[in-house]
Amino acid sequence: MRILGIETTCDETGIAVVEDGRRILVNRVLSQVPLHERFGGVVPEIASRAHVEAISWILEAALKEAGLEFRGARPQLDGIAVAYRPGLVGSLLIGVTAAKCLAWAWRLPLVGVDHIHAHIYAAAMAAKNPERDDFLMEEEIFPAVSLVVSGGHTALYGSQSWTEHTLFGATTDDAAGEAFDKVASILKLGYPGGPAISKAAEEGNPKACRFTPAFLEAGSLDFSFSGIKTAVLYRVKGQNACRDTPLRPDISIADVAASFEETVVSLLVKKLARAMRRENAGTAIVGGGVAANRRLRQHLDRLAKKEDYRIFYPPPSLCTDNGAMIAGLGYWLLQRGRRDSLALDADPVAAR
């Protein structure tokens, strides 16, 4: 089964065709970073307009790359999957409308995919059994504890299969990636902040500054990052500074970046460890843009080795937003009988 996947939840227009949930025939991602970088974050109105301008030609180019016809007869597709929640409502609407139009015109089944669940799927879809040199089957991966760390979301789930996830905890304020983006903006390191902070941190001492991570109440699997962000602001600009206050000249940006990264990473690692212990789980899955972070992977790998469990990450190209994870998860949803009608609507809010 070949599924077309459409992703427009935030600032990436992603179009992919995936066969049987795993084999990627095409995965095109148009990033809007050049449009948003001077604002230090995504501007929703600019994002939705850019999706409108891009979606038709990316669709056409992607289908051509996959060897499928776009105009004329119905292309060799078996279904259409679209990320319909959560995200920026204006951005979501573009992908959802495109998907509904194509499903109607080509008379193909339509399925709405939860973007956060798709980030979990991105890690699992690439998981292989080295002995068989083949993809791991669903029952070889699950049950698992899943951590999604992206620009818009930070959450822990108990995952029973590709398609079943129970929320254990989520951020109470900023998402992890958002904290990277905001701190990079304070440190004038550019946008997106994750890769910029990581690069600056390579030259820094992660123990140079003490930023206290917020663990919240005992046993909590929720997250909070806004306190760390404010601690960085005061550290580099002085107590009670605001965004326009200039940086103190005696500050080492590399040390602050490394210490901030270390604090966020240690918080994520400890919360995942807590969930793994509580669930007595043998498998961890980590997805989302921040899963590309090298220091995070090093710490998580060390923990997994020490505590003797398996951990899966997406390849770098599937960490950030893309259509392949939407098409891949859409395949399983369609296989399990999920269908959406043309009344499918964009839903900006994450499922609880």
Do the bridges between strand 165-170 and strand 154-159 make them parallel or antiparallel, or are there none, so unpaired?
A: antiparallel
Residue 180 interacts with ligand KG4 (CB under 6 A): yes or no: yes
User: What is the rounded distance in angstroms from the CA atom of residue 248 to the CA atom of residue 225?
Assistant: 23
Residue 8 binding: pick among Zn ion, ligand KG4, none (C-beta 5-8 Å cut-off by kind): none
Of 60-68, 70-78, 269-277, 286-294, the segment contacting ligand KG4 by CB under 6 A is 286-294
| Smallest distance from Zn ion to CB 236, Å | 28
Q: Which is nearer to ligand KG4, 189 or 333 (CB)?
A: 189
| Smallest distance from Zn ion to CB 8, Å | 11
Residue 322 interacts with Zn ion (CB under 5 A): yes or no: no
Residue 150 interacts with Zn ion (CB under 5 A): yes or no: yes
| Helix/strand/coil for 73 | coil
- For residues 115 and 85, is the Cβ–Cβ distance under 8 A? yes
Q: Which is nearer to ligand KG4, 79 or 150 (CB)?
A: 150
User: What is the rounded distance in angstroms from the CA atom of residue 70 to the CA atom of residue 92?
Assistant: 22
Q: Which of 103, 92, 136 is nearest to 3 (CA)?
A: 103
Selected from 290, 311, 329, 344, the binder of ligand KG4 by CB under 6 A is 290
Residue 14 interacts with ligand KG4 (CB under 6 A): yes or no: no
Residue 185 interacts with ligand KG4 (CB under 6 A): yes or no: no
Tokens 């499922």 sit on residue: 351
Q: Which is nearer to ligand KG4, 116 or 233 (CB)?
A: 116
User: What is the rounded distance in angstroms from the CA atom of residue 300 to the CA atom of residue 231?
Assistant: 25
Q: Which is nearer to Zn ion, 77 or 319 (CB)?
A: 319
DSSP letter for 39, please: G
Question: Which residue blocks in 42-175 are alpha helix, DSSP H?
Answer: 44-65, 89-106, 115-125, 138-141
| Smallest distance from Zn ion to CB 205, Å | 31
Residue 330 interacts with ligand KG4 (CB under 6 A): yes or no: no
Residue 321 interacts with Zn ion (CB under 5 A): yes or no: yes
**CB < 8 Å & 24+ apart, contacts of 302-307:** 303/269, 303/272, 303/273, 307/273, 307/276, 307/277
| Smallest distance from Zn ion to CB 321, Å | 4
Continuous segment of H or E residues that includes residue 233 = helix 226-237
Residue 7 interacts with Zn ion (CB under 5 A): yes or no: no
User: What is the rounded distance in angstroms from the CA atom of residue 122 to the CA atom of residue 138?
Assistant: 13
Tokens 């499903």 sit on residue: 103
Q: Which of 97, 122, 92, 120 is nearest to 110 (CA)?
A: 97
Residue 348 interacts with ligand KG4 (CB under 6 A): yes or no: no
Q: Which is nearer to Zn ion, 58 or 200 (CB)?
A: 58
Residue 178 interacts with Zn ion (CB under 5 A): yes or no: no
Q: Which residues are at the interface with ligand KG4 (CB under 6 A)? A: 10, 150-152, 177-178, 180-181, 192-195, 198, 288-290, 292-293, 320-321
Q: Which residues are at the interface with Zn ion (CB under 5 A)? A: 150, 321
